[in-house]
Amino acid sequence: MDGEFNISAKLEELACSSNRFSSPVKPQIDYEQEYIEIFRAFGLSEFEIEDQLDKWELSKLKAERFYKRNPKYRIIHEILDGIYADVAHVDPRDQELISYNIAVVLFVVLLAGVSNCNDDAEIAEFWFFNNMELQHLVPGMPSPKHMISDETVRTIRKLVPEDVMHAIFTKYFNKVKVSIADMIKNKDYDSQNYRKTLGGDGQELRATYREGSFSRKKKGGHGVSIYDCDSQEVVGFKTVHRKNQEVQAFIDILDKITIDEDAIFYADALNLRDILISYLDFRNIDWFFPVKENNGNKDLRDVI
């Protein structure tokens, strides 16, 4: 049984195949002077520059600690190697003369997308404001003096056909998730001895726009679903206008499905509300929620 759940070992094995990109933590390179020149160009005072340089040292320490505690995350190297192998043929630039490695740029594009930065200008801003952390975590990052522009982001993204881009991210970012899912699946599951577990969550419908608004950040809906962790199926879905309406959506979905009285329901801290807890208790469904200071739960969190 232990071998089936050894996720760290599997990720470590996957990461060890990396050979193109070097260690992401580069203590031998000191970019302090480059950052000073950049910050001065942006009009920062000497005191503000000192604060920024403190962040540079802190980001290095955090990165070193991160990799020391989580060696499996060297999988970043393997992913970069794979991306480069898949897209190198579409890059006509002389690799000895370029500042922006195509695989590194595409990797940062993905990270920016996770942070809801999707157009070229937003990605360039993400590159700038997170540059110190990226320098230590992403091997192959160009030096700070090569802050990327939205035009450069656009140029590199256009090099890669859309179907190739989709295939890259499906291949290198889904395969780890799928591998972990296979490893943690309970192969000895017996419905007679296990309690049903349901997870509730909501997700912004990012391809929508709110009626009457032209802002890309104002979405037209928020999808709420409940997932049966045993059958690995979505058992209910509802669209609401905002994230803070998830609680009522959960109740509406649960009203329409049959659940064993000893089932377990869990969701994030945003949904730790009296109305939902009372409903679950009424249905004799046990529940798990993380506790944060939001929703008036500060006193409860302090007691815990």
- Residue-wise pLDDT tens digits, 198-237: 999 988 765 555 555 555 555 557 789 999 887 778 888 8
Question: Quick one: CA torsion of 237, 241, 244, 245, rounded to 10 degrees?
Answer: -50
Question: Quick one: CA torsion of 197, 198, 199, 205, rounded to 10 degrees?
Answer: 150
User: What pLDDT does 165 receive?
Assistant: 78
Q: Kindly give the interhelix angle for 162-184 and 75-87, rounded to the nearest 10 degrees.
A: 150
Alpha carbon distance 119, 122 (integer Å): 5
Taking Cα atoms as reference points, which of 160, 119, 186, 267 lies closest to residue 277? 267
Let me know how long the chain is. 304
User: What pLDDT does 299 receive?
Assistant: 73
Taking Cα atoms as reference points, which of 231, 278, 230 lies closest to residue 250? 278
User: What pLDDT does 5 receive?
Assistant: 46
User: What pLDDT does 212 receive?
Assistant: 59
User: What pLDDT does 2 receive?
Assistant: 45
- The tokens of 187 are what? 């192969």
Scanning the structure block, which residue is given the tokens 């540059």?
131
Alpha carbon distance 276, 260 (integer Å): 17
Where does the chain hold its CATH 3.30.420.10 domain(s)? Answer: 189-303
User: What pLDDT does 3 receive?
Assistant: 46
Q: How would you write the pLDDT of the chain (304 residues) with one tens digit per residue?
A: 444 445 455 555 555 554 455 444 444 467 888 888 888 888 888 888 888 888 887 887 877 776 676 655 566 777 788 888 888 888 898 888 888 999 999 989 888 876 778 789 999 999 998 898 888 888 889 989 899 999 999 999 999 888 887 777 667 655 555 555 555 555 555 556 678 899 999 887 655 555 555 555 555 577 899 998 877 788 888 888 777 789 999 999 999 888 878 899 999 888 888 899 999 999 999 999 988 877 677 777 776 6
Residue 296 CA: distances (Å) to CA of 62, 101, 127, 251, 291: 32, 48, 36, 21, 10
Taking Cα atoms as reference points, which of 220, 249, 248, 219 lies closest to residue 237? 249
User: What pLDDT does 188 receive?
Assistant: 59
Please enumerate in sequence order all residues whose Cβ is within 8 A of that of 220, keeping only pairs 6 or more positions apart, or say none: 205, 208, 209, 210, 211
Residue 195 has phi, psi (to 5 degrees) of -90, 140
User: What pLDDT does 54 receive?
Assistant: 84
Taking Cα atoms as reference points, which of 283, 251, 246 lies closest to residue 268? 246
Per CATH, the homologous superfamily of domain 189-303 is: Ribonuclease H-like superfamily/Ribonuclease H (3.30.420.10)
Q: What is the distance in angstroms between the CA of the first residue and the CA of the last residue of the chain?
A: 34
Contact 222, 208 (CB under 8 A): no
In terms of DSSP bridges, do strands 233-240 and 222-228 run parallel, antiparallel, or are they unpaired?
antiparallel
Scanning the structure block, which residue is given the tokens 């998730």?
177
- The tokens of 119 are what? 């157009």
